[in-house]
Amino acid sequence: MRRARSLLSQNRRPPAGEGSSLPLAGAYMPTLYKLLTALLALTGCAGLLLTGEISLMMSSGAVALIPGYYRFFLGRQPAPVYVIGLLSIIELIIFLVDATVITGDVFIAVAHLTIAFQALKSFDLKEPWDNLQVYFVSLLQLIIASELTSSLVFGGVFVVFLMVLVAAMVLSHFLKEGDREAGLMRKPVYLISGLTLLMTCLFFVLLPRTPYRFLGKSHLKNIHTTGFSEQVDFASLGSITLDPAVVMRVEMEKDIPGPFYWRGHTLDHFDGITWKNELPRSRIRKQAGEFLIAPYQAEQTVEQLITLEPMDSEILFGLSEIRGIKADSFFLLADSAGDPSMPGKTSRRVRYTVNSLLADRLPGEARDRYLQLPAGNQRIAGLAAALVRNVRGNELKAKALEEHLKRGYLYSLTIDAPARGVSPVEDFLFRTKKGYCEHYATAMVLMLRSLGIHARVVTGFLGGDRNSYGDYIIVRRSNAHSWVEALIDGNWRRYDPTPAVVLERSGNVLLFWDSVAMYWARHVVGFSPADQKALFGGLRTGLLKLSYHFPAVKIPSIAAGLYYAALLIIVITLVFVCLVLIRRRAGRVSALTASYVRVRKALSARGLTVTRSTTSGELSAQAQTFPFHEGLSKFLEHYNARRFGRAGADTSFPGGIAPVLKQIRKK
């Protein structure tokens, strides 16, 4: 507390006539107030930079915060007005160029502009009220950052920002009133900070999150996933680097063995370079809150609760075959292969529940689109015919082709471009004999189709890391995969011709941190109306159990019980606030007025006549014969000049009131 008092007592307003005629940076501001201002500016800029969406080049001006606030702490003169004005014009020009040319995104350009403003403002802080501009822009930066990320780290930054902002605003209020005493500031800071946290928790429960954003379109960065795509383009495929970025996290109520094939999209048309989905899509009907793709019995399915990160796709994933989906969406679509999609989901995290019927065979229809072949497929057809020359039955033929690809080719992420005029698939089959999952799946489908067997490519993800800390499966970008489905005897059968590859598993520390991030995303960022209902349901259960132990307490209904509980909380809060107001009745006045009240009490104890109507002049007259009269007169003169005159702000008595009180009490 001594340190706090020293911080608050520094940089007081100098006596009239002293100091330079030019205003000093941060004149009359306590050091603690300066420190909180700098922390808010740094927190706002750090929140933006931690999102990873801000250009480092366009944000390089943040470095100027260091010399700017260093000068501010030393109390040096602010930058000249014409310099600030010129730099402001330059900032505006850069913002316009940034929004239209450099980033082409007004939202990101505004984020860059706020960082430039904070840097410039650090050289232009003259009066305590200038700091309020820093607070407002810092709040704006946190709002922008919340649109760019929802990570756990940002949550920590926001908590720090909230506490610092509350303290800074309370100090700002006291400075406006002319109060500098640490004792008068400490309790309001504690009280308001506590009430802020209480109200934050209250609004957290009462206002669950929704998938619809306040600022419209989300600016969360989409994940561009190699291996999974709504189309496979060999012209754009090259060497691949595995990326450990998380795509989705899956919670399953049943412990089932792998491997887990997270089905995404079916590709049916190939032109020699690109796979596309040309299957018709239709709206999925919704029954009892569930989008039903096909009827199912709950005991025969596996339920998966999936948290899907923002991706550059509208596809929803799940174990095959997906029968039903519960999602917070107006409508879903599904193609004829049963692959669901959610229009408009690409820019946001989505939580949904999938019920899948796990089976080796899925009923299907033979359609001509699954026999389509590109021009110039004769060489591949010849290889397929040679491989199954002595094989009978489509199932055995498909198995033979799968085994040939698994055993005769190498899995590689480094692929050379084929020679001009040679298709990527032919180059894979006959020259390099190495490739990744798209090469294997495409080669097998083309060979199956050349044999008259209906086949298609399916893209999605394979496997994942089981996180024992959170009891869920982490699916990463590196798990992206493509496989084959062939129509054998009226049923679609899955074949995976890609050789097995062992992926590096995450360490325990990373898994633990991911479980914390999962909890944050699930219970904080993703707190939904269903979670709110479950929370109140748990409260209702607790009240019921409590009523069993106190049968004399009759609660007519659970709703009435909740009403009474809320009413009790409100009454307790009001009583607490009233007590605080009564105790701090004198705390509403300034430090100087509080000192005047203490002097009146001391004079009354010394034997002087002090009533409510006794003026300061009458007090001075009564004390003329006392040895403390000189000190008392100086204090009363200072009080009258500051409190009622035009001598300046209502500041504390120079040197403190303690010596005056000591003289009065000395007998």
Min mean pLDDT across 60-74, 159-173, 259-273, 516-530 is at: 516-530
Residues 6+ apart with CB under 8 A from 453: 394, 397, 398, 486, 487, 488
Q: How far apart are the first and last CA of the chain?
A: 32
- Among 130-144, 491-505, 519-533, the range scoring the smallest mean pLDDT is 519-533
Give SS3 for 117: helix
Number of residues assigned to the chain: 667
Q: At 305, is the pLDDT very low, low, confident or very high (cuts 50, 70, 90)?
A: very high
**CB environment 639-650: b (16+ within 10 A), e (fewer):** bbebbeeeeebb
Q: Are 231 and 463 spatial neighbours (Cβ–Cβ below 8 Å)?
A: no
Which three-class secondary structure state does DSSP give residue 417? coil
Q: Tens digits of per-residue pLDDT, 31-62? A: 778 888 899 999 889 888 888 788 888 888 88
pLDDT at 574 over 90: no
Instruction: Return the SS3 of 315.
Output: strand
Express each pLDDT in 353-370 by its tens digit: 999 988 778 888 888 999
Whether residue 263 is predicted with pLDDT greater than 70 in this model: the reply is yes
- Of the pLDDT bands very low, low, confident and very high (cuts 50, 70, 90), residue 165 is confident
Average pLDDT over residues 595-624: 84
Report which of residues 388 and 193 the model is more confident about.
388
Percent share of the chain, pLDDT over 70: 71
pLDDT band with cut points at 50, 70 and 90 for residue 325? very high
**Taking a C-beta distance cutoff of 8 angstroms, is the pair 522, 251 a contact?**
no
Q: Lowest-confidence range among 107-116, 443-452, 500-509? A: 500-509
pLDDT higher than threshold 50 for residue 586: no
**What's the average model confidence in pLDDT over 265-272?**
91
Measured between alpha carbons, how far is 177 from 643 in angstroms, rounded to an integer? Answer: 11
Residue 653 has pLDDT above 90, yes or no: no
- Pick the more confident residue, 260 or 418: 260
Segment 200-224 shows an average pLDDT of: 53
Q: Is 34 left (phi over 0), alpha (psi -120 to 50) or beta?
A: alpha
Q: 291 falls in which pLDDT band (50, 70, 90)?
A: very high
Residue the block writes with tokens 């009892």:
288
pLDDT tens-digit series, residues 221-249: 544 444 466 778 776 656 566 677 888 99
Rounded to whole angstroms, the Cα distance separating 457 from 461 reads 13
Does position 589 have pLDDT exceeding 60, yes or no? no
Distance CA 646, CA 408 (A): 95
Here the tokens at position 249 are 């996290």
What are 436-465's pLDDT values in tens digits?
A: 889 999 999 999 999 999 999 999 999 888
Cβ neighbours for 90, distance < 8 A, ≥ 6 positions apart: none
Domain ranges for the chain: 2-206, 232-521, 527-569, 589-665
Question: How far is Cα 335 from Cα 341, in angstroms, rounded to an integer?
Answer: 9
